[in-house]
């Protein structure tokens, strides 16, 4: 049993050491690197967990806002009031909305740019996939697994923020298929 556990931990450690993702440690991460390689792995996982938590909280808070029907906050005001969103995200959303309203004042965009759809999973989202190299993640509906959204997070100073979601700052080739 002891040998089996030792072998298992060795394989896990080896798989992390040979990964091709490019993790750039922050000052906070460097504090964890004073010991052996296990501490580096722990810090990397902790950092990735913080990144995905910010994204999941963002999208599920947005779902809650949209579910409030007549009391919901308009998309631009909701985004502007959220501190976990990059300025680039906010600027791109303003541009998308302004262009859509200019091109069609009656309908505007015709869909929600954060969801990249008209409908959305009202129960919220959970993490489906996270690319630790480029910091793109995919979320899927909790009860509507086929509904997926691509998101992007970045680290500004010491905090993770959402930099892209739906069609906002997400290249067409990276967006979830519809």
Domain extent listing, the chain:
28-174
Residue 136 near residue 150 (C-beta atoms within 8 A): yes
**pTM metric for this prediction:** 0.73
What 3 state SS string does the chain have?
CHHHHHHHHHHHHHHHHCCCCCCCCCHHHHHHCCCCHHHHHHHHHHHHHHHHHHHHHHHHHHHHHHHCHHHCCCHHHHHHCCCCECHHHHHHHHHHHHHHHHHCCCCCCCCECCCCECCCCCCCEEEEEEECCCCEEEEEECCCCCCEEEEEEEEECCEEEEEEECCECCCHHHCCCC
Mean pLDDT computed over 113-121: 96
pLDDT tens, 45-93? 455 789 999 999 999 999 999 999 778 789 999 999 999 999 999 999 9
Question: Beta-carbon neighbour count of residue 121 at 10 Å?
Answer: 22
What was the pLDDT predicted at 78? 95
Mean pLDDT computed over 26-47: 45
Architecture (CATH level 2) of domain 28-174: Roll (3.10)
């Amino acid at each position: 049993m002891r040998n089996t556990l030792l072998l298992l931990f060795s394989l896990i450690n080896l798989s992390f050491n040979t990964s091709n993702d490019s993790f750039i440690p922050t000052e906070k991460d460097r504090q964890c690197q004073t010991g052996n390689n296990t501490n580096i792995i722990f810090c990397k996982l902790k950092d990735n967990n913080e990144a995905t938590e910010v994204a999941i909280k963002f999208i599920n808070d947005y779902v809650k806002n949209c579910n409030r029907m007549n009391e919901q906050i308009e998309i631009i005001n909701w985004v502007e009031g959220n501190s976990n969103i990059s300025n680039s995200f906010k600027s791109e959303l303003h541009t998308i909305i302004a262009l859509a309203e200019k091109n069609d004042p009656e309908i505007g965009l015709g869909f929600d740019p954060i969801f990249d759809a008209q409908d959305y999973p009202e129960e919220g989202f959970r993490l489906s996939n996270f690319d630790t190299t480029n910091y793109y993640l995919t979320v899927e509906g909790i009860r509507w697994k086929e509904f997926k959204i691509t998101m992007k997070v970045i680290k500004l100073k010491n905090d993770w923020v959402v930099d892209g979601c739906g069609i906002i700052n997400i290249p067409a080739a990276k967006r979830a298929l519809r």
